[in-house]
Every structure is written in structure tokens, then in C-alpha cells.
């Protein structure tokens, strides 16, 4: 008969009376095997009915599943459209950005603008195209195939689910950054060069200037507006989100101590983390952000990764169908010891 597990579904014909004790078992062990909540199920993934949220309390489970998550899940495209529209309004200046002001002759704002090592075009192309190719190749290699579906069809389904979750987290990340930029209005290290504030030409000493207008003729109006949108770093938050999302996905989906990928996966994970580090640190070396902008951007990236992991139920697939059979059988043997302790002794 089919017996429920907190972490996977497995057939156990020789075990009886387990169904009645599944709640107690999962309550004891679910926190160790589960991180995330059941929201939707892609092809080849097993639903997790005993998630971390469920284990906390029935009231919290109702609040999160029935009220909060329906507003913030990829199954609601209207919210995504609203968020994208909000981002566009901030970027185009339709929604006025706050100006935090500056101190006259502040050396921290007097660096020359020399461009970006990682341009916005390079960042967005890698953020959008890179993970899609990454998911497709990984899923094609590790996807479980049965007689009901072809490998390509199953790969496309899983890739679509992963990419949808990834993009949704990316949009949430960008929306948080845009709103914070518009509210804080912190000047960049290249503020004087990009903006050339009118009040900065007449003020003396270390006087604080709150009201000003940009008068630069060297740069377009978008660069002038962007000169006081330093906090937090968008490049950092987006690159950290992308790098950590892919690294954790590889850990959950492809890493196996008994598999040939034991060396390849850490190398790819290092590449993902290096990508995030390069995009972040060059914002400081290019004098495009202050160090605290990059720090807060990293925190936002990490927070949205955790949010996306919860949405994807920690990339929970049916691990009994993934990887080589020998390693999976050995791993299942260890886990079934938890059941064997509860089995009554049988008389032959």
C-alpha cells in the first residue's frame, strides 16, 4: 500500500498501520526534511502537504495559504503586471523621486563618472537568458522519464515552472529596489559630475543643501535623475538573487555524492556566486554606489532568494526518480530505518 512521507512518496507493501501515524511522524521529522510550502506542483514533483508553514500553526497556515500567498504567487499575473508598471513609472520619473540633499564639497560625491564595468544591458541579458538555458540543460540531464511522456516534453514543463518562479522572484526583487530608491533618494558617488546641481555652485563650506536642480549638459536627463538613486544597489540585489538562486537549485537538483556531477556541480555553483560577487564589487570600484548600498542590495537579493525558494517548495522533486538507482536505493534504505523502528516484530 502507499505510505506517506514528509519528503517523498514511496510504495511500502510490507508496512501496515502507517497511515494512521503519518501526522505524528511528519510533525517530528517534517521540519528537518522540509523547507518551503506547497503552492503548486510541476511535472515530476511531489506535493508536500506538511510544509514548514503548516507545522507552525493552523491559524498561520490559513493566513499564509488563503490570504497572503494568493496575492503573491506567480499564478496571479495581474499583480506582476502592476509591479512592472510601478517599476516603469519610477524609472521614467512619472512618480517623482525623493531628493535627500547633499553637503557642499562632499568628497564622497565628487568622483568622475566613467561608465559601468557591468552595464545594464549585460546584466539584464544574463539575468533573463542565462537561467533559462541553465534550467533547460539541467532538467534535460536529470529529468525522470517514463512511458507516458517524452524527455523533451517533461523537460519543457519543469523548465517553464522553474523559470516562471525565478522571473516572479526577480520582479519582486526589482520592485523592492525601485521603491526604496524612489523613497530614499540618496546621491551617488558620481553625483556632482552627473547632476551638477545649481546650488552646489554657490554654496560654501560644508553647508547642507536640500533643494536643488540638476544643470548638467554632458549627460541625458535620465542620468541626472539617476544620480540621486544610489540606495540600494540594483545591480547587486539582482545579481545576488540570480547567483544564489541558481547555486541552490543545483544543490537541490543535481548534486549527489555518488554521482559523476560531484565535481561539476560545485564548479558551476562557484561560477554563479562569482558572477554575483563581480557584479556587486564592481559597483564600488566603478564609484557607482557606496559600500552600504551594496550591502543592503545583497540583503535584498538574499531575502528574495528565500522567498522564491518558498514558492518553489525548495525545488522538491521526486528524488526516488532522479539520479542513479544505486545511490537512491541506498539513501532510501537509510531513511526507511525511521519506519523500521516503529514496525512491530513479525513472527515467521
- Calculate what percentage of the chain has a pLDDT beyond 90: 44
Which range (8-12, 284-288, 341-345) has the least confidence?
8-12
Task: Give strand pairing partners of 208.
Answer: 103
Higher-pLDDT residue of 168, 292 = 292
Mean pLDDT score of the chain: 75
Residue 313 has pLDDT above 60, yes or no: yes
What is the reported pLDDT for 144? 75
In a domain, 106, yes or no: yes
Residue 46 has pLDDT above 70, yes or no: no
Please report which confidence band the pLDDT of residue 257 belongs to, taking 50, 70 and 90 as the band edges.
low
Q: Is the dihedral of CA 240, 266, 150, 333 positive or negative?
A: negative
In a domain, 129, yes or no: yes
CA–CA gap between residue 341 and residue 347 (Å, rounded): 16
What is the reported pLDDT for 318? 46
Please report which confidence band the pLDDT of residue 260 belongs to, taking 50, 70 and 90 as the band edges.
low
Residue 196 has pLDDT above 50, yes or no: yes
C-alpha distances in Å from residue 118, one per residue of 55, 203, 261, 284, 311: 43, 35, 30, 12, 29
What is the reported pLDDT for 65? 47
Higher-pLDDT residue of 298, 325 = 298
The C-alpha torsion from 316 through 318 and 319 to 320, rounded to 10°, is: 160
In a domain, 237, yes or no: yes
Q: Which of 130, 159, 128, 146 is nearest to 42 (CA)?
A: 159
Residue 195 has pLDDT above 70, yes or no: yes
Q: Which of 222, 224, 221 is nearest to 195 (CA)?
A: 224
Give the strand pairing for 102-103 and 2-4: unpaired
What is the reported pLDDT for 23? 43
What is the reported pLDDT for 258? 64
Please report which confidence band the pLDDT of residue 259 belongs to, taking 50, 70 and 90 as the band edges.
low
Label residue 173 exposed, middle or buried (CB < 10 Å: 0-12, 13-18, 19+).
buried
In a domain, 248, yes or no: yes
Residue of 29, 65, 76, 289 marked catalytic: 289
What is the reported pLDDT for 84? 75
CA–CA gap between residue 347 and residue 277 (Å, rounded): 61
Residue of 65, 235, 287, 290 marked catalytic: 235
Is 65 noted as a catalytic residue in this protein? no
HSE (side-chain half, CA atoms, 13 Å) at 150: 3
Higher-pLDDT residue of 119, 256 = 119
CB atoms inside a 10 Å sphere around CB 333: 10
Inter-residue contact 177 to 237 (CB < 8 Å) = yes
Q: Based on the structure, what is the number of domains in the chain?
A: 1
Average pLDDT over residues 309-335: 51
In a domain, 298, yes or no: yes
Residue 111 structural domain: 72-315
In a domain, 147, yes or no: yes
Higher-pLDDT residue of 74, 151 = 151
In a domain, 181, yes or no: yes
Higher-pLDDT residue of 79, 281 = 281
Amino acid at each position: 500500500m502507499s505510505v506517506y512521507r514528509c519528503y517523498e512518496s514511496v510504495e511500502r507493501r510490507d508496512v501496515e498501520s502507517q497511515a494512521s501515524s503519518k501526522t505524528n511522524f511528519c510533525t517530528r521529522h517534517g521540519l528537518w526534511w522540509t523547507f518551503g510550502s506547497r503552492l503548486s506542483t510541476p511535472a515530476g514533483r511531489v506535493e508536500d502537504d506538511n510544509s514548514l508553514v503548516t507545522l507552525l500553526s493552523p491559524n498561520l497556515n490559513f493566513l499564509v495559504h488563503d490570504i497572503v500567498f494568493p496575492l503573491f504567487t506567480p499564478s496571479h499575473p495581474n499583480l506582476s503586471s502592476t509591479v512592472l508598471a510601478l517599476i516603469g513609472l519610477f524609472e521614467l520619473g512619472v512618480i517623482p523621486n525623493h531628493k535627500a540633499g547633499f553637503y557642499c564639497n562632499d568628497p564622497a560625491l565628487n568622483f568622475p563618472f566613467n561608465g559601468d564595468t557591468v552595464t545594464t544591458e549585460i546584466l539584464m541579458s544574463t539575468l533573463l537568458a542565462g537561467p533559462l538555458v541553465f534550467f533547460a540543460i539541467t532538467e534535460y540531464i536529470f529529468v525522470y522519464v517514463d512511458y507516458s511522456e517524452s524527455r523533451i516534453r517533461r523537460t519543457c514543463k519543469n523548465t517553464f515552472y522553474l523559470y516562471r518562479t525565478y522571473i516572479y522572484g526577480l520582479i519582486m526583487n526589482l520592485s523592492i529596489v525601485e521603491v526604496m530608491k524612489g523613497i530614499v533618494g540618496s546621491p551617488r558617488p558620481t553625483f556632482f559630475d552627473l547632476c551638477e546641481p545649481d546650488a552646489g555652485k554657490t554654496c560654501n563650506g560644508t553647508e547642507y543643501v536640500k533643494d536643488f536642480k540638476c544643470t548638467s549638459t554632458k549627460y541625458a536627463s535620465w542620468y541626472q535623475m539617476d544620480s540621486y538613486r544610489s540606495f540600494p544597489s540594483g545591480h547587486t540585489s539582482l545579481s545576488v538573487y540570480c547567483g544564489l538562486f541558481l547555486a541552490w537549485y543545483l544543490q537541490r537538483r543535481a548534486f549527489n555524492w555518488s554521482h559523476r556531477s560531484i565535481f561539476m556541480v560545485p564548479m558551476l555553483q562557484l561560477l554563479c556566486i562569482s558572477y554575483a560577487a563581480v557584479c556587486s564589487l564592481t559597483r564600488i570600484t566603478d564609484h557607482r554606489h557606496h559600500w552600504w548600498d551594496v550591502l543592503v542590495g545583497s540583503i535584498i537579493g538574499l531575502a528574495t532568494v528565500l522567498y522564491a525558494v518558498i514558492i518553489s517548495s525548495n525545488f522538491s522533486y521526486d528524488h526516488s526518480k532522479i539520479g542513479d538507482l544505486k545511490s537512491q536505493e541506498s539513501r532510501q534504505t537509510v531513511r526507511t530505518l525511521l519506519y523500521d523502528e516503529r514496525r512491530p516484530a513479525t513472527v515467521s
